[in-house]
Chains A and B, each alone.
Chain A
Amino acid sequence: MTKVLTDARSIRIKGRSFLALVLSPDLPLDDWLVRLDDLASRSAGFFLDRPVVLDVTGLAIDKVQLKELFEQLAERNVRIMGIEGARPSMLGPGMPPAMKGGKPAADIEVKERETVSDEAETASDAPGQAEFPQVRAVAQSLIINEPVRSGQSIIFPEGDVTIVGSVASGAEVIAGGSIHIYGALRGRAMAGSIGNSASRIFCRKLEAELVAIDGIYKMIEDMSPSVVGQPVQLWLDGDSIMASTII
């Protein structure tokens, strides 16, 4: 028996990028925490309601020490939303998820009007107004000159992705804008990942495992056999993905 969906609306899954503070502790941790306390006392509430990612790349600590560090940070009201650069052995249940693929942004300077000696005064100041660098809103495009191999993923929320080559089975391309593939699409392609319903997917040969535009998904099995294996463009019409051959 096949299951029949009673609700025809599909589930929307989208990607979105946020700017988070990244804390990179160094050894010995006790000293680092003292310096953190010092920073917090000069700029009260700096970490309040801010998402913080802990970067432990190259830090020689184990799971137990990492757990202790979390507790220490929790006492200071620093909430960790994710860990970057941790070895799998350092992570466990109940810990924030591992994060990767972070893009570097400018260092955030903690504003400090008074010198350290006037601690009492600065503590009463307004919470530190760290300035977040503005993300540029210019349409960009990424061109990849070789095939995308199985297991690789190209993620480019900033704009269009053009691939001169094929996208293999088990590979994925996620773009904020449209995806152009001058080759066969055998893996996954997700266009308009940050909510752009006007984006399209183009490929020379459609053999995709999955395609998505603006969070609406479609499997190749659900597509008309007349477009499979053909040069195809895919676009969004309302809540359904349309496909037609090109050339």
Chain B
Amino acid sequence: MGKVIVVTSGKGGVGKTTSTAALGAALAQNGERVVVVDFDVGLRNLDLVMGAERRVVYDLVNVIQGEAKLTQALIRDKRLESLFLLPASQTRDKDNLTTEGVDRVITELKRVFDWVICDSPAGIERGATLAMRHADMAVVVTNPEVSSVRDSDRIIGLLDSKTLKAERGERMEKHLLLTRYDAVRAERGDMLKVDDVLEILSIPLIGIIPESSDVLRASNMGAPVTLADARCAPAMAYFEAARRLRGEQLPISIPGDKRGIFGKIFGRKAA
């Protein structure tokens, strides 16, 4: 049985879709079968970031409403053959997602894939709650600024109450992915520092993605940043985050953090 991950944040524009694509591609590079599912019905973007917008025939809503089979809607990535995309519909809205329909699709995907990564829409309404409903673990994407942190806090509360795992009385595994981190601005006090964010959210950190033009360039090219340029700083950070999702214990380095040789050796423990 595959693992279901929801990539969520509450606030819009913090990098959920970019992170979904980048983590999906990073996990698929070892040959594990990965599907990224776009839950943002009506405002789909994941197909663009994956560079598959011209290959969408059927979508999630078609599958839920029984108009197409799952195999017809899945799009295989041209670069990685173990990476698939299940696109959202652009012409419908989120009311077309039913609890039973999503339940059926996720169950079917879990049978076939090692990782099912659900790209949640912004907000805390139907689309977002259905995207998180079946998750085994959550990646909470947060920017180092107060409004994003507060929205993430709200989402963590929902992950602990509105998911199947929570309803069964189990604990949802939650990971913090800090994106668009700018070391210089954090040092100047224009941005929240890593420790401040961790103190407020108190969930373990799986990665800090530095603010970089490489991310924007990759998105515009229609490629996950981990495929566009695997050597750039944000891609390396996503690769490390993917390894931590697999359960590996790696020290986390804060971009731009000047520390001595001891700091480098002992690294930084995730909270």
Q: Say whether B202 contacts A150, CB under 8 Å.
A: no
State which residues 23-75 of B face A: CB under 8 Å: none
Among candidates B150, B158, B160, residue contacting A168 with C-beta atoms closer than 8 Å: B150
A selection of 10 A-B contacts at a CB cut-off of 8 Å is A146-B160, A149-B156, A149-B157, A150-B151, A150-B153, A150-B154, A151-B157, A151-B158, A166-B200, A184-B199
Nearest CB of A to B201, in Å: 9
Query: A residues bordering B, Cβ < 8 Å?
Result: 146-147, 149-152, 165-166, 168-170, 184, 186
Q: List A contacts of B154 (CB < 8 A).
A: 149-151, 170
Nearest CB of chain B from residue A50's CB, rounded to whole Å: 33
CA distance A151 to B160 in the complex (A): 12
Closest Cβ of chain A to B233, distance in Å, is 31
Check if B157 sits within 8 Å of A152, measured CB to CB.
yes
Closest chain-B Cβ to A171's Cβ sits at a distance in Å of: 8
Q: How far does the alpha carbon of A7 sit from the alpha carbon of B199 in the complex, in Å?
A: 41
The 8 A-B residue pairs whose C-beta atoms are closest, nearest first, are A149-B157, A150-B153, A151-B154, A150-B154, A168-B153, A152-B157, A149-B153, A150-B150
B48 to chain A, nearest CB (A): 31
Main secondary structure of the interface of A (DSSP, over half): loop
Instruction: Knowing that A149-B153, A150-B151, A168-B150 touch, tell me 4 more A-B residue pairs with CB under 8 angstroms.
Output: A151-B154, A168-B200, A170-B154, A186-B200
Question: How far is B167's CA from A191's CA once the two chains are assembled, in angstroms?
Answer: 30
Interface positions of B (Cβ within 8 A of A): 150-151, 153-154, 156-158, 160, 199-200, 202
Decide: A170 and B200 in contact? CB cutoff 8 A. no
Within the complex, the shortest CB–CB distance from B250 to chain A, in Å, comes to 26
Pick from B150, B158, B160, B199: contact of A170, CB below 8 A: B150
**Interfacial chain B residues near A168, Cβ < 8 Å:** 150, 153, 200
Instruction: Give complex CA distance A166, B198 in Å.
Output: 12
- Given the complex, which residues of B lie within 8 Å of A166, measured CB to CB? 200, 202
Q: Find the B residue at minimum CB distance from A186.
A: B200
Which of B150, B160, B199 has most chain A Cβ within 10 Å?
A: B150
Nearest-CB residue, chain B, relative to A168 = B153
Q: A149 contacts which chain B residues (CB < 8 A)?
A: 153-154, 156-157, 160
A235 CA / B133 CA spacing, docked (Å): 42
Q: In whole angstroms, how far apart are the Cα atoms of A149 and B158 in the complex?
A: 9
A186: B residues at CB distance < 8 A: 200
Nearest-Cβ distance from residue B148 to partner chain A, whole angstroms: 12
Tell which of B150, B151, B158, B202 touches A147, judged by Cβ atoms closer than 8 Å.
B202
CA distance A170 to B150 in the complex (A): 8
- With a cutoff of 8 Å between Cβ atoms, the chain B residues found around residue A169 in the complex are 150, 153
Question: What separation, in Å, do the CA atoms of A101 and B202 have in the docked complex?
Answer: 27
In the complex, which residue of chain A has the Cβ closest to the Cβ of B159? Answer: A149
**B residues near A165, Cβ cutoff 8 Å:** 202
State how many angstroms separate the Cβ of B82 from the closest Cβ of chain A: 36
Q: CA of A169 to CA of B157 in the docked complex: distance in angstroms? A: 13
B160 cross-chain contacts in A, Cβ below 8 A: 146, 149
Give the nearest-CB partner of B202 in chain A.
Answer: A147
Residues of B within 8 A of A150 (CB): 150-151, 153-154, 157
A184 to B151 CA separation, bound complex (whole angstroms): 18
Q: How far is the CB of B261 from chain A (nearest CB, A)?
A: 34
Minimum CB distance partner of B151 in chain A: A150
Inter-chain CA distance A165–B151, complex, in Å, is: 18
Instruction: Compute how far the CA of A147 lies from the CA of B157 in the bound complex, rounded to whole angstroms.
Output: 9
Nearest Cβ on chain B to A3's Cβ, whole angstroms: 28
User: Which chain B residue has the least Cβ–Cβ distance from A147?
Assistant: B202
Complex CA distance for A147 and B154, rounded to whole angstroms: 11
In the bound complex, CA of A169 to CA of B199 (Å): 13
Q: How distant is the Cα of A146 from the Cα of B158 in the complex, in angstroms? A: 14
Bound CA span A152–B156, Å: 10
* A contact residues around B153 at 8 Å (CB): 149-151, 168-170
- Distance from B119 Cβ to chain A, minimum over Cβ atoms (Å): 22
Nearest chain-B residue to A148 (Cβ)? Answer: B157
Most buried by B among A150, A152, A166, A186: A150
Cα distance A186–B150 in the bound complex, in angstroms: 11
Residue of A nearest to B161 (CB): A152
